[in-house]
Amino acid sequence: MPAISIGQLAKAAGVGVETVRFYERKGLLDAPPRKGSGYRQYDDDAVERLKFIRRAQLVGFTLKEIQDLLALRDDPDARRADVRERAAAKVADIDEKVRDLLAMRASLTTLLATCEGDGPASDCPIITAFRDEGRNEPTERSCEHGAGED
C-alpha cells in the first residue's frame, strides 16, 4: 500500500505542492484521506490523475474542461447517452486540435525542408501553406507525425 505525501505526489507529477492543493480546492483532485496529523495521504492513482491534468492542459484544455474529461472517466453511469454525447463532443474537440496542429506542423516542416539550403524564406512554399491551412483534409500523410523524431 503505497501511501505518499503531498510533496512526493507533487514531485512525481512535476508540479508544486501548492498546485496540488489548488487542484483539490478546484475539484480536479478529490480530497484524499488524512493521517491523524491532518497530513494528506495519496496513492499512485493520484499521480496518474495529476499527470493527466498536466498533459490535458498542455494541449489547451482548461481546468473546467479537464474536470469534464475526468468526470467522464470516473462516472459510474458512464453508459448513459448523455455522457457518451459529451465524450463524443470532446473527441470532436480533440480532432479539431489535432487538425490545427498538423496543419501547423506541415507548414513548419515545409519550412525546414525547403529552406535547408540558403535563400530567403520568402521564397518558401510555406508562405502559401500558412496562408490557407489544410484545415479541411488531415491529409492522411499527416500520420507521418508519429514518434521517432524528437
CB 114 within 8 A of CB 121: no
Cβ proximity to its own copies, 36 vs 79, nearer residue: 79
Map grid coordinates 498538423 to a residue.
102
Per CB under 8 A, contacts with its own copies among 52-81 are: 52, 55-60, 69, 72-73, 75-79
* CA end-to-end distance (rounded Å), the chain: 36
Measured from the CB of residue 99, what is the shortest distance to its own copies in angstroms? 7
Contact between 37 and its own copies by CB under 8 A: the answer reads no
**Alpha-carbon span 107 to 102, nearest angstrom:** 8
15 belongs to the binding site for DNA (CB under 7 A): yes
Report the distance separating Cα 130 and Cα 107, nearest Å: 6
Size of residue set near its own copies by CB under 8 A: 67
d(CA 124, CA 78) in angstroms, rounded, equals: 49
Which of DNA, its own copies, none has residue 113 at its interface (CB below 5 to 8 Å by kind)?
none
52 near DNA, judged by CB under 7 A: no
3-state helix, strand, coil in the chain (%, to 5): 65, 5, 35
Answer with the entry of its own copies, DNA, none that 1 interacts with (C-beta below 5 to 8 A by kind). Answer: none
Of 92, 98, 121, give the one whose Cα is nearest residue 108: 121
44 binds DNA (CB under 7 A): no
Site residues (vs its own copies, CB under 8 A)? 45, 48, 52, 55-60, 69, 72-73, 75-79, 83-84, 87-88, 90-92, 94-105, 107-109, 111-112, 115-122, 124, 126-127, 130-133, 136-138, 140, 142-143, 145-147, 149-150
